[in-house]
Amino acid sequence: MASAIGIRRVRVKGLFGLYNYTLPRTSSFDKLVIFYGDNGSGKTTVLQLLFHLVSAANNRGHRSALLRVPFKSLIVDVAGGFELAATRPDDVKRSLLILTIRASGKLISRWDFADKDLRPHSEVLESLEGFDVRVATRRLLRNLSPNSLNLSEPDVEKQLRNSKIDPSDLTQSFAIFRTEAAEKEYHKHLSELNLTLFLMSADRELLSDTLAVQKTEDDYAAILLRYRNAQVAGEERFPGNEIASTRDRYLTAALAEAYHWISQKAVTATNIGSQNANDWYFNLISNLVVHSAQRGEESLGIEEIQSTLASFDERATRYAQLELFPAFKSKDLINLVNQAQKSGQFPTVQGVLASFISTLRARLEALDPIYSTINSVLEIVNSLFSRKKLEFTLTRGFYFLDSNGAELRSQSLSSGEKHLLLIVFRALVASENPTVFLIDEPEISLNVKWQRRLVGALSKLIGKKPMQLIFATHSFEILSQHEEAVAQLISDDDIGLVRI
């Protein structure tokens, strides 16, 4: 991968007790990765394992989610020479994972993660029933400096002995200290990878450490549970309206987040080139003095000023349509410049124009990437929509029009249109920082034409941004268009066998 971003290779052994995968078998992943395999081969599960192993947050249940999946070992190579691994030892039950991080082959962190109550899985603590020791140890940890995580055993024992912990509990306390120190060290190194992951499930729910904490009860799970309860009660009503309403909420949230992201960028760009009154007058006077001293020498000529203002006019007009920039009338200003030349005042005007052009150029250049991003989104969506159009202004955000120009509510869009928009807008917001965007079955509800063009459209939207796309799909249209990116899930034990 030219930009060396994201996940480079995945190796999983004993998945469901059946499969051993090495993905890819040669080389390493690029910016686009497409998982393909038979039903039940674990495509979705591999996406989930990647998400939970590489995500750094310590309060989102990532490690507990790994424990719930039956596998022997999971190794993920990450850009920069890092290797993340989760392994179940042979001699213990499923409630323990050994989590390690290596840098250029060197072990830099290990954390033995235990079952859901987070008790260290060691012989010393297997029989620990008291809670006071745990509370006292954690209280002590908060009082220790960060450097205490690297203290030797005698030093830690000395600090523990000086605490209020009963001497008979020191063995348990020290084991707790070492486990919690290892946990902190592990999360520290994982966070330093500076890699953000997003996982979009097949039902279009989006998970990420960067988003607000998800509800403890998933919307879809709650709906389907009510449906099953209704079936038990003899009611055969399928909750289609409830599911559609949930998807509408996802789309509304995605549109709002995209608008918020663009608004922040626009405000930041607008402030570029802005100055307080004292600075503005100081720079103006400086330019007047400089241009006065440079009379007769090389300086900004009238033709160059005219062409520069005309180019600003063209850009400002495009940006004004999106309300990113006020309308700019270069013709009136150019007429004034021409009058100044005729009256002999052009040398003085040159100094004023130098400050104006410098400030205007800085603001327009700051808005260039924002305009380009918005324009790309509009072009991508509108090239796929039929008899509908996506529009944007800074005051209204994204909105929809029908072929007659009447505004449409997002709820009136088809399921395929909603899914397309969810993917596009989530990718837009996610592309800001080094990111891995995992999407399960992106083809859901998309027609054949959209499936064929989806990956190219997302690649255009992302451009040179530091984002990696990883799909899991059955779509022949997606697979055939991007064969070079396909990683087929064939168990290492089945390599060489003919499959029909």
Q: For residues 170 and 55, state if they share a domain.
A: yes
CA 62, CA 60: separation in Å to the nearest integer? Answer: 6
Predicted pLDDT of residue 65: 92
Pairing of strands 73-78, 7-15: antiparallel
Predicted pLDDT of residue 118: 40
Q: For residues 52 and 154, state if they share a domain.
A: yes
Q: For residues 282 and 193, state if they share a domain.
A: no
Please give the average per-residue pLDDT across 364-373, as a whole number.
89
- Total number of domains constituting the chain: 2
Q: Are 199 and 438 in contact (CB under 8 A)?
A: yes
Assign 223 a pLDDT band (cuts: 50, 70, 90): very low
Check pLDDT > 70 for residue 492: yes
Predicted pLDDT of residue 440: 93
Q: Is residue 245 part of a domain?
A: no
**E-only strand ranges, 44-154:** 73-78, 82-87, 97-103, 106-113
Q: For residues 194 and 317, state if they share a domain.
A: no
DSSP state of 84: E
Q: Are 460 and 376 in contact (CB under 8 A)?
A: yes
Poorest-confidence range of 150-159, 223-232, 491-500? 223-232
CA 431, CA 418: separation in Å to the nearest integer? Answer: 20
Q: For residues 54 and 180, state if they share a domain.
A: yes
CA 104 → CA 101, 108, 111, 182, 330, distances in Å?
Answer: 10, 10, 19, 20, 57
Q: Give long-range contacts, CB 8 A cutoff, 24+ apart: 52-59.
A: 53/84, 53/86, 54/7, 54/78, 54/84, 54/190, 54/193, 54/195, 54/197, 54/436, 55/197, 55/208, 55/209, 56/187, 56/190, 56/191, 56/193, 56/209, 57/209, 58/183, 58/187, 59/213
Give tens-digit pLDDT for 384-430.
Answer: 898 999 999 988 899 999 999 999 988 888 888 888 888 888 888 87
Q: Is residue 250 part of a domain?
A: no
Q: For residues 61 and 170, state if they share a domain.
A: yes
Q: Is residue 248 part of a domain?
A: no
Please say which residue of 336, 361, 386 terminates a domain.
361
Predicted pLDDT of residue 249: 79
- Between 485 and 497, where is the model more confident? 485
Please say which residue of 174, 200, 226 terminates a domain.
200
Assign 220 a pLDDT band (cuts: 50, 70, 90): very low
Please give the average per-residue pLDDT across 304-316, as a whole number.
82
CA 379, CA 376: separation in Å to the nearest integer? Answer: 5
Assign 265 a pLDDT band (cuts: 50, 70, 90): confident
Q: For residues 147 and 32, state if they share a domain.
A: yes
- Between 1 and 150, where is the model more confident? 150
- Between 206 and 467, where is the model more confident? 467
Q: Is residue 411 part of a domain?
A: no
Q: What radius of gyration, in Å, describes the C-alpha atoms of the chain?
A: 30
Q: For residues 156 and 71, state if they share a domain.
A: yes
Predicted pLDDT of residue 233: 57
CA 264, CA 42: separation in Å to the nearest integer? Answer: 39
Q: Are 42 and 56 in contact (CB under 8 A)?
A: no
Please say which residue of 361, 386, 412 terminates a domain.
361
Poorest-confidence range of 90-104, 133-147, 353-367? 133-147
Q: For residues 186 and 297, state if they share a domain.
A: no
Assign 19 a pLDDT band (cuts: 50, 70, 90): very high
Q: Is residue 39 part of a domain?
A: yes
Assign 8 a pLDDT band (cuts: 50, 70, 90): very high
Check pLDDT > 50 for residue 120: no
pTM value?
0.71
Please give the average per-residue pLDDT across 457-461, as a whole number.
85
Predicted pLDDT of residue 423: 84
Q: For residues 11 and 137, state if they share a domain.
A: yes
Q: Is residue 479 part of a domain?
A: no
Check pLDDT > 50 for residue 21: yes
Assign 484 a pLDDT band (cuts: 50, 70, 90): very high
Domain range for 326 is: 270-361
Q: Are 72 and 89 in contact (CB under 8 A)?
A: no
Poorest-confidence range of 181-185, 208-212, 415-419? 208-212
Give tens-digit pLDDT for 313-326.
Answer: 888 889 999 988 88
Q: For residues 174 and 308, state if they share a domain.
A: no
CA 434, CA 265: separation in Å to the nearest integer? Answer: 18
* The two three-digit tokens of residue 354, written as one number: 């130098």
DSSP state of 93: -
Distant-in-sequence, close-in-space partners of 223: CB < 8 Å, separation ≥ 6: 239, 242, 243, 246
Please give the average per-residue pLDDT across 168-196, as a whole number.
76
The share of the chain scoring above pLDDT 90, in percent, equals: 29
Torsion of CA 485, 491, 493, 498, to 10 degrees: -70
Q: Is residue 450 part of a domain?
A: no
Any idea how long the chain is? Answer: 500
Q: For residues 30 and 163, state if they share a domain.
A: yes
Q: Is residue 418 part of a domain?
A: no
